[in-house]
Chains A and B, each alone.
Chain A
C-alpha cells in the first residue's frame, strides 16, 4: 500500500471515526481499512477515544452569569473608549514621539552609564548591552517587518554574561522608563505591533526571564496585552 495513500487516510481517520466524513469518503475509508492492516490497526487504536471517551468531554457546563458578562463587556468598551480618546486627544503623533524619546533615553543612558561591576573581569562593551540601532529599528518598524526582525537585545550571539547584565539593566530601569512605556496611552500610540515587539524581545530569552522580577514580567505582559494579530 502506498505510503502517501496511507498518510492521507490516517489524516482522515479522526473525522471518519467521529462520523464527519461524507458517504463517498467514508466508503473509500472502509475499503482501505479492509485492505490495509496498518491503517486498520491505527483505526482500532483511535476508535475508543473518538467514539467513547471524547464525546463525554463535549458536554460541558459552566456557571456563568451571562447578564453580568454582557454588563462587563459594555463596561470594558466604555472604559477603553475613554482611554483611546485621551491618548490621541492631545496630538496623534505625541505619544509615538514620547515613546521614541523614551527608547532613545534608555539607549543613551545605557551607553554612557559607567559600569558598576569590575570591568577587568567583565570585558563587556557598552555596545553589547543595548544596540542603539536595534532600538531605532524597533521603533521604526511596524507589523510583520518588526515581528520578523532578526536579532534583538537578547541575540543568542551575545555571551551569557551580557545577557545577565542586560537583564540587570532592564530591571534597573523598569520602574522609570519601562513604566512609561507601559503607560496605556503611550502603548496605544506606539502602535500595538511595536509595543509587542519590544516586549517580546525582552521576553524572548529564558536566561533573561530568569533574572527579571515578577513585577517586571507583569509590566512587560501589560505591553503584550495590546497585542493583536488581526491583519485585516
Chain B
C-alpha cells in the first residue's frame, strides 16, 4: 500500500511534473485559498477565478519555492499578490466614465426581507472590509480570519510586524466606524 505522502513530498513530486501530487495539494488548500481571496475581493465569482489562478501560477512557479517558508505561506503570498493586483485593476477601471463601464458599478441589493439577521451582519462586515485600503484589508483578512501570526503575515506582505500591528488596529477602527454608522 502506498504510504501517505507529506506536503513536502507532494511539493517535490509536483515540481517534477507529478500532476496527481499537485492535485492533492490543491485539494488540501483550495478552500482556504478561496476564502482568503473571497474576503479580500468580496465577490464569489471573482474569488473563484482568482483562487484557480493562484494554483495555476503556483504550479508554474513551483521551481521558485525554496521551502524556507511553509508551502501554504507561499500560496498565501501568491494569493495576496494576485488579489491586490486585481483590486488595483478594479480601482483603475473605476476611473472610467460610468456610461462606458456600467458593470463596474455594483448594484446594492438589500436582499430579501426574510434574510437572516446574521447574514445582514455578514454583509455589513463585508462592506466595511471593502472600504479598507488594500494593505489594511490584507492585514485584516490574514490576521482576523486566517489567524496567522504577525511573523507569517510579515513574510507574505513584506512588512514589519510593528507596521502590521498598526495596520491591523487602524483596520479594526475603520470597520468599527463603518459598522456603527450603518447599524
Binding site for B on A (CB under 8 A): 10-15, 18, 20, 45-46, 49-50, 53-54, 56-60, 62, 64, 66, 69-70, 72-74, 76-77, 80, 84, 203, 206, 209-210, 212-214, 217, 221, 224, 227-230, 232
Taking a contact as CB atoms under 8 Å apart, the answer to whether B34 and A221 are in contact is no
* Total number of residue pairs linking A and B with CB closer than 8 Å: 127
List of 6 A-B pairs having minimum Cβ-Cβ separation, nearest first: A232-B64, A57-B125, A209-B95, A11-B165, A76-B56, A14-B172
12 sample A-B contacts, Cβ–Cβ < 8 Å, listed by A number = A15-B168, A20-B147, A46-B173, A60-B39, A70-B27, A73-B52, A73-B59, A76-B52, A77-B56, A213-B100, A228-B78, A230-B78
Binding site for A on B (CB under 8 A): 19, 22-23, 26-27, 30-31, 34-35, 38-39, 44, 48, 51-53, 55-57, 59-61, 64-66, 77-78, 81-82, 85, 89, 92-93, 95-97, 100-101, 118, 121-122, 125-126, 143-145, 147, 165-166, 168-169, 172-173, 175-176, 179
Taking a contact as CB atoms under 8 Å apart, the answer to whether B96 and A14 are in contact is no
Q: Within 8 Å CB of A50, what residues of B?
A: 172
Question: Chain B at the A interface: mostly helix, strand, loop or mixed?
Answer: helix
New contact pairs (11) apart from A62-B38, A232-B65, CB-CB < 8 Å: A49-B172, A57-B122, A69-B52, A73-B52, A74-B23, A76-B52, A76-B55, A84-B60, A212-B96, A217-B96, A228-B57
**What CA separation (Å) do A13 and B23 show in the bound complex?**
40
CB distance from B60 to the nearest CB of A (A): 6
A63: nearest chain-B partner, CB-CB: B44
Most buried by A among B22, B26, B144: B144
**What CA separation (Å) do A18 and B143 show in the bound complex?**
11
Question: Chain A at the B interface: mostly helix, strand, loop or mixed?
Answer: helix
CB distance from A218 to the nearest CB of B (A): 9
A12-B34 contact, Cβ under 8 Å, with A80-B56, A209-B92: no
Taking a contact as CB atoms under 8 Å apart, the answer to whether A60 and B35 are in contact is yes
Q: Within 8 Å CB of B118, what residues of A?
A: 56, 59
Q: Within 8 Å CB of B26, what residues of A?
A: 69-70, 73
**What CA separation (Å) do A56 and B165 show in the bound complex?**
23
A69-B48 contact, Cβ under 8 Å, with A56-B121, A60-B35, A80-B56: yes
Q: Within 8 Å CB of B145, what residues of A?
A: 58
A73-B56 contact, Cβ under 8 Å, with A50-B172, A57-B121, A210-B96: yes
Contact of A12 among B57, B66, B97, B165 (CB under 8 A): B165
Contact of B55 among A56, A60, A73, A206 (CB under 8 A): A73
Q: Within 8 Å CB of B147, what residues of A?
A: 20
Contact of B100 among A13, A20, A77, A214 (CB under 8 A): A214
